[in-house]
Amino acid sequence: MTGGTTEQAKRVDAHPGGAVDLETLGRAVKEAQYRHHRALDTRLAAVGTTLAQWDALRAIARSPGASAHELAMATFQGDQSFGTLAGRLAAQHLVERRQGRGRRIEHHLTEAGERTLEAGRAVAVEVLAASFAPLDEEERITLLGLLRRMGVDAGAHP
């Protein structure tokens, strides 16, 4: 972001005294997320999946054998929503659900699931590269650091 653009944003979205309007800031974060999700969903359709499905495949690849509850948490979904999604992925032969200890059902990618995951990664790299193109590397590092700090701090406060 150039200095002029930053100054302009501060003037437009600040309260008297220079405080940033938090509703405007929150909405800007939500708008960026929404644009990412829309672009990803649109482009992932070309490789035969959706953002929710691809994100689930990604979570399973990171934690093979994870339970539905663990994967629901990792994908920011409720248990019931993830269970429905996992059922669709299993019906498409992208995921295997295996009996674990007790009542635990473990999730694993199939070869088809791995192929879909990799195809989705190629799409995500392109979409995110275009989205973050206006930021230079230093700005990206700063943004990532700030968002991670917010995530850590947010966990301490309801």
| Residue pLDDT, tens place only, 51-107 | 999 999 999 999 999 999 999 999 999 999 999 999 999 999 999 999 988 888 999
**Token pair of 43 as six digits:** 């482009």
**Token pair of 39 as six digits:** 């672009």
Other beta carbons within 10 angstroms of residue 58's beta carbon come to 17
Alpha carbon distance 44, 60 (integer Å): 18
Q: What tens digit of pLDDT does each residue of 105-131 get?
A: 999 999 999 999 999 999 999 999 999
pTM of the model: 0.80
Q: 36-127 has which fold? A: Arc Repressor Mutant, subunit A (1.10.10)
Long-range residue pairs from 139-143, CB within 8 A, at least 24 positions apart, any chain: 139/1
Domain boundaries, the chain: 36-127
